[in-house]
Amino acid sequence: MSARQATQHCPYCADTNLWPLEEGWECRSCLRAFSVKYLGLVRPNASPVATGHER
């Protein structure tokens, strides 16, 4: 497994002018602050499209 990657693009303006904050990131291009949360791994074939089952 590789080391954690830093966020590379702002999710709002897609610029790369990002600076770390205590609990997230600051985009100095669009002046927005945001955080990124890791939710976990997904299982292969877990989506309704892949299995053919609806939830």
pLDDT band at 11; cut points 50, 70, 90 = very high
The model's pTM is 0.61
- For position 45, what pLDDT does the model report? 78
**Per residue in 14-54, pLDDT tens?**
999 999 999 999 999 999 999 988 888 888 876 665 555 55
pLDDT band at 1; cut points 50, 70, 90 = very low
- For position 6, what pLDDT does the model report? 76
Strands (E), 1-55: 18-21, 24-27, 32-34
Q: Which residues contact 10 (CB under 8 A, 6 or more apart)?
A: 16, 17, 18, 25, 27, 29, 30, 32, 34
